[in-house]
Structure 1
Amino acid sequence: MHKNRWLLLPVLLIVLFGLNLSLGSVRIPFREIITILIGSESSQSIWNDIVWNFRMTKALTCVLAGGALALSGLQMQTLFRNALAGPDVLGLSSGASLAVSLIFMSQAAGLRFLSTPSPWTVAIAATLGCSGVFLIMLAISKKLLDNVSLLIVGLMIGAGTSSIVSVLQYISRAEEMQTYLIWTFGSLGGLNWTELMVLAIVLLIGAIVAIRLVKPLNAWMLGDNYARSIGVNIKRSRFWIIFSASILTGGVTAFCGPIAFVGLAVPHLVKFLVQTTNHKVLIPTVMIGGAVLMLFCDILSQLPGSTQMLPINAITALIGAPVVIWVIVRHSRIRI
């Protein structure tokens, strides 16, 4: 029976996707959602516009972002063999945050990049920030032989970029700091179809790379020496694992902002459900699990029955933090 528990994930994905489309400030009956999805006109024409132009893009963003962050977290936990490693351990999210802070709070640094940055400008800035940190980590990884040192360097880069952001916040004006803070809360509802397509392409590339890394990922579970003994090229596989995790994390951060805890929590929940360490099974199930969790968090953030919305990061942290505590208690000896 436990071998078929993974079937719960696709069922939950379909149910939560439908709920996500039906819930919101304007409640649309579920049967009307089905009518709209099959291409028919609903009883109120405005419902068609709401579903296709607002809720569908948001729900698909949840699926893409959740799957990408969960897969990135799985790869980082496997590479570093650390239960508390997540997508941000390489400092990628911090690099994106620094680049975006320079856009929003540039006047505080005596610069003036743009008076009213567009969403594309913010996305490009976040991408450049992630790419910059990725290149730095790539150069450092060639000098370091062990992954623990690489993990520590990534955490220090994240701490350094965060300190610069803190200085900019301290000397910036209140309205500039508020705009940046809103971005750090994360957002899943701001993408149009063009931006969603770009995000999907970027994340598809990262997922394809990860799927081709099944053998190295399984080998990394048992350590560097075992990976070498079965013919895995350590440097090359580490490069592609970091590349895949970077493009997945960077793409989501660029379009949705830094979303915490999903990549850290989902791999543990899925492993507990499917009871396997084979990445051939874990990669698809973790991606579905990430989509499920993100849809669930988005539903909670909408405060069903209310017109108010909570920041998505507040909900993911509320769910992810107990998972981290559970992981620490369950693994009394965690390698750091």
Structure 2
Amino acid sequence: MNNNRWLLLPFLLILLFGLNLSLGSVHIPFREIISILTGHEGREPVWSDIVWNFRLTKALTCMLAGGALALAGLQMQTLFRNALAGPDVLGLTSGASLAVSLIFMSPAAGLQFLTTPNPWTIAIAATFGCTGVFLIMLAIARKLLDNVSLLIVGLMIGAGTSSVVSVLQYISRAEEMQTYLIWTFGSLGGLNWTELTVLAVVLFCGAAIAIGSSKSLNAWLLGDNYAVSIGIDIKRSRFWIILSASILTGGVTAFCGPIAFVGLAVPHLVKLLISTSNHKILIPMVMTGGAALMLFCDILSQLPGNTQVLPINAITALIGAPVVIGVIMRHSRLRP
């Protein structure tokens, strides 16, 4: 990078992090927030609890989820050499949604897995759903050498699992379906410190694999033949890239629900800003950009002075959809 535009992303992240901490239904002066974070007591005893156990955990969740989804999207776009590939193209999110729908709507099918689902059981169910789809995709990937065919198979698996969820919704009761639909809206504010720690460890493992695959990702940009010519084992490389994207996507979906458009839009926005295709630079920058965008979306989802919070998926779609349209317009031939 021969310019300093990349410095904008860390600065923007810090700014949005501070702004996110300062917003909420209870007004807390920013100076008091800084004082609480540095170990001092706030003027009001309840302020410390709000900052530490609600606002800080939510802001950190935004950063982890945004960075993970953006990194997973970058890997999928590079692997498939498709500008419209996102972290859910392998059907992982759909697999998690199917598993969670069975938890909420199983009585409609004459089954009863759990009487009182809690956040941990939902996270475990989503993890099993993602893992199941990942194992299926892994088995298919061993038989397919063409990434385009693998992409199509992933989309078909996603369509199949979504159809099963639609059937469950059709036969389930209104209250069961409503609970599931609320989960599909996505949530960033429901994690405690224990859940946040588990999420951070899982996403760190996925990011470490991605960083270790940066050389392979650079090779994939120029195609399979080039990757082989420089000594890349394409089967092994594809396995690690898919594993990393699966861990990142599955971890976020398990704890935060399915969040759309972030992984699809952020890599394009970051590439426009820093103008590089080197993944050793792109990976940290895309993670920073994803964290900043998710914080921004969470800020928009909060109505200042009101206790109502908009679904995070509605905000990410409003921002991501124009980016997708711009990508299509940019990569398609337009009529004169």
Give SS of 1:39's match: coil
CA offsets per residue over residues 210-235 of structure 1, 9 Å max, x none?
Answer: 00001100000000000000000000
Q: Closer, same or farther in 2 for the Cα pair 1:250/1:333, shift >3 Å?
A: farther
Match runs of 1:13-52 below 5 Å? 13-52=13-52
Match runs of 1:50-65 below 5 Å? 50-65=50-65
Amino acid at match of 2:58: K
Per the alignment, residue 310 of structure 2 pairs with: 310
Q: Closer, same or farther in 2 for the Cα pair 1:234/1:84, shift >3 Å?
A: same
Which of 297-306 and 276-285 deviates more?
A: 297-306
Amino acid at match of 2:5: R
User: CA separation in 2, counterparts of 1:264 and 1:2?
Assistant: 26
- Deviation of 1:333 after TM superposition, in Å, equals 5.6
Which of 174-183 and 11-20 deviates more?
A: 11-20
Give SS of 1:282's match: helix
Aligned residues: 334
Amino acid at match of 2:131: S
Amino acid at match of 1:67: G
User: CA separation in 1, counterparts of 2:78 and 2:109?
Assistant: 39
CA offsets per residue over residues 97-119 of structure 1, 9 Å max, x none?
Answer: 00000000000111001111011
Q: Closer, same or farther in 2 for the Cα pair 1:136/1:333, shift >3 Å?
A: farther
- Deviation of 1:2 after TM superposition, in Å, equals 6.6
CA offsets per residue over residues 109-146 of structure 1, 9 Å max, x none?
Answer: 11001111011000000000000000000000000011
User: CA separation in 2, counterparts of 1:307 and 1:196?
Assistant: 23
Q: Answer yes or no: is the 8 Å Cα contact 1:77–1:83 preserved in 2.
A: yes
Per the alignment, residue 143 of structure 1 pairs with: 143
- Asked if 1:253 is matched to 2:253, the reply is yes
Amino acid at match of 1:64: L
Give SS of 1:303's match: coil
User: CA separation in 1, counterparts of 2:174 and 2:43?
Assistant: 46
- Deviation of 1:64 after TM superposition, in Å, equals 0.3
Per the alignment, residue 180 of structure 1 pairs with: 180
Give SS of 2:143's match: coil
Per the alignment, residue 285 of structure 2 pairs with: 285
Amino acid at match of 2:219: A
Q: Answer yes or no: is the 8 Å Cα contact 1:99–1:126 preserved in 2.
A: yes
Per the alignment, residue 80 of structure 1 pairs with: 80
Q: Answer yes or no: is the 8 Å Cα contact 1:2–1:274 preserved in 2.
A: no
- Deviation of 1:305 after TM superposition, in Å, equals 2.8
Q: Answer yes or no: is the 8 Å Cα contact 2:68–2:203 preserved in 1.
A: yes
- Asked if 1:199 is matched to 2:188, the reply is no
Give SS of 1:226's match: helix
Q: Which runs of 5+ in 1 are unaligned?
A: none
Per the alignment, residue 116 of structure 1 pairs with: 116
Q: Answer yes or no: is the 8 Å Cα contact 1:93–1:253 preserved in 2.
A: yes
Question: Identity over the aligned pairs, expressed in percent?
Answer: 83
Give SS of 2:4's match: helix
4+ long deviations beyond 3 Å = none
Amino acid at match of 2:151: L
Amino acid at match of 2:139: A
- Deviation of 1:303 after TM superposition, in Å, equals 1.5
Give SS of 2:3's match: helix
CA offsets per residue over residues 269-320 of structure 1, 9 Å max, x none?
Answer: 0000010000000000000000000000001001223221100000000000
Amino acid at match of 1:257: G
Which of 162-171 and 17-26 deviates more?
A: 17-26
Q: Answer yes or no: is the 8 Å Cα contact 2:26–2:305 preserved in 1.
A: no
User: CA separation in 2, counterparts of 1:2 and 1:323?
Assistant: 25
CA offsets per residue over residues 45-89 of structure 1, 9 Å max, x none?
Answer: 211110001111100000000000000000000000000000000
User: CA separation in 2, counterparts of 1:4 and 1:152?
Assistant: 39
User: CA separation in 1, counterparts of 2:77 and 2:4?
Assistant: 25
Amino acid at match of 2:88: D
- Deviation of 1:32 after TM superposition, in Å, equals 1.1
